[in-house]
């Protein structure tokens, strides 16, 4: 899996702070709204917005990711997040005869399970090629390909949507491949907007409690340690 931050709103935290200042200022005009805005004031504004739940101003900044080496299982889950834009490699126009497959952790639980999984995906590729040779269009032949088929996608989300996305998809209950991708995305945005995403992570990190009820993973006693892992991580693999 490879996740790269391709583009983002320049000075994202300043843009958010300017939007907030406009909301609360009686005198400042658009031309002068950012005058004299120090780094300390920006930090104070952004931190206050996040802590008080005034998240609408976070929608003014966006982040675009290039993601490859994920399965169509994960891409199907990803596009359920509606406040976002997506461009995905098309199976309708692109031939998948030489496609790769994603082998998730757990498929090799037993030797028999491992062989069943490998046999299934490999057979699907052969059958896909056979259909093409029989003159079946790519857009029809793709129906035999499994969810394990590797794909690539470009995703753009605003900061508010990203925080919601992280709250769900970095949770220990998230699908493992999805969680790995979400953690990698969080690591990327923390590089360029550390204040905005200071509390980025699962719901328990962002909210201070778990909203899953009886489905909670039970890690609440170690919440401080979990928060620290997400807040101060220096590498993706250091995350929980």
Q: Mind telling me the catalytic residues?
A: 169
Asked whether the beta carbons of 163 and 195 are under 8 A apart, the reply is no
Please tell me the distance from the alpha carbon of residue 109 to that of residue 40, in angstroms, as a whole number. Answer: 52
Please tell me the distance from the alpha carbon of residue 229 to that of residue 240, in angstroms, as a whole number. Answer: 7
Q: Where are the beta strands (DSSP E) in 61-192?
A: 62-71, 85-88, 150-158
Q: From the CB of residue 51, how many other CB atoms can be counted at a distance below 10 Å?
A: 9
Q: From the CB of residue 177, how many other CB atoms can be counted at a distance below 10 Å?
A: 18
Asked whether the beta carbons of 230 and 240 are under 8 A apart, the reply is yes
Tell me which residue of 201, 204, 208, 199 sits closest to 50, measured CA to CA: 199
């Amino acid at each position: 899996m490879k996740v790269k931050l391709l583009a983002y709103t320049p000075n994202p935290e300043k843009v958010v702070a300017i939007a907030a200042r406009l909301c609360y200022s009686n005198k400042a005009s658009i031309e002068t709204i950012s005058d004299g805005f120090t780094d300390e004031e920006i930090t104070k504004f952004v931190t206050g917005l996040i802590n008080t739940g005034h998240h609408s101003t976070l929608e003014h900044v966006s982040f675009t990711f290039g993601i490859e080496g994920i399965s169509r299982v994960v891409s199907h889950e990803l596009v359920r997040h509606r406040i976002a834009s997506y461009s995905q490699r098309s199976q309708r126009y692109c031939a998948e005869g030489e496609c790769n497959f994603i082998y998730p952790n757990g498929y090799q639980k037993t030797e028999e399970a491992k062989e069943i999984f490998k046999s299934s995906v490999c057979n699907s590729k052969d059958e896909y090629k056979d259909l093409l040779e029989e003159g079946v269009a790519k857009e029809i032949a793709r129906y035999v390909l499994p969810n394990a088929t590797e794909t690539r996608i470009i995703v753009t989300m605003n900061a508010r949507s990203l925080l919601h996305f992280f709250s769900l998809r970095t949770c220990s209950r998230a699908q493992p491949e999805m969680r790995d991708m979400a953690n990698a995305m969080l690591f990327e945005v923390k590089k360029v907007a550390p204040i905005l995403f200071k509390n980025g992570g699962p719901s328990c990190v962002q909210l201070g409690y778990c909203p899953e009820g009886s489905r909670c993973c039970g890690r609440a006693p170690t919440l401080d340690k979990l928060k620290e892992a997400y807040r101060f991580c220096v590498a993706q693999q250091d995350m929980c």
